[in-house]
Amino acid sequence: MKKKDRYTISELAREFEISTRTIRYYEEIGLLNPERTPGNQRIFSRKDRAKLKLILRGRRLGFSLEEIREMIEMYDVAGEPEQIRLTLKYGEKKLKEIEEKIRELELLKEDLLNLREMLVKRLEELEKGS
C-alpha cells in the first residue's frame, strides 16, 4: 500500500488516537505548520505527520513541549547528529529524574511497610488486652 503525501486533521487524529483540538494546539504553539486549502482546511504533509509522531512520543516519555520544540528545531538548524546529541542530553536528564522518583517511592514504600507493621502489632496488643 502506498503511503499518503497529505493528511487531514481528522485522519491524523484518528491515526494517533488524539483529539483534533490537540493537533490544533500544537499548531497554535508553532510545533506544526500545516498548509491550508483555499477553503482554509488544514492539510498536513508527511513531515508534519512525522513531527506529530515525535511530539506524541516525546510527551509519552515525559519531555516538556519546550524540550520537544528544541529537539525538532535542532534537526532543522544543525542536522541529525546535533538533534541526536540534544535528545540524548534531555534523555539523560529525564532518566535521572525517574531514578530519583524511584528512590523516593522506595523510601515511601519502606515507611508505609514499617507503619503497617507497627499498627498490626499495636492492634494485636490491644486485642490481647481486652
pLDDT band, very low/low/confident/very high, at 74 (cuts 50, 70, 90): confident
Q: How far is 4 from 20, CA to CA, in rounded Å?
A: 19
Same domain, 130 and 76: yes
Query: What range defines the domain where residue 24 resides?
Result: 1-60
pLDDT band, very low/low/confident/very high, at 2 (cuts 50, 70, 90): low
Residue that terminates a domain, selected from 60, 85, 107: 60
Does 10 or 81 have the greater pLDDT score? 10
Same domain, 104 and 66: yes
Same domain, 55 and 76: no
Between strands 35-36 and 6-7, the pairing is: unpaired
Amino acid, res. 9: I
Residue that terminates a domain, selected from 24, 40, 60: 60
Residue in the structure block whose three cell numbers are 508527511: 46
pLDDT band, very low/low/confident/very high, at 76 (cuts 50, 70, 90): confident
Same domain, 49 and 78: no
Number of domains in the chain: 2
Give pTM, 2 decimals. Answer: 0.74
CATH number where 52 lies: 1.10.1660.10
Same domain, 107 and 53: no
Compute the average pLDDT of residues 75-104: 90
Does 95 or 83 have the greater pLDDT score? 95
Same domain, 67 and 112: yes
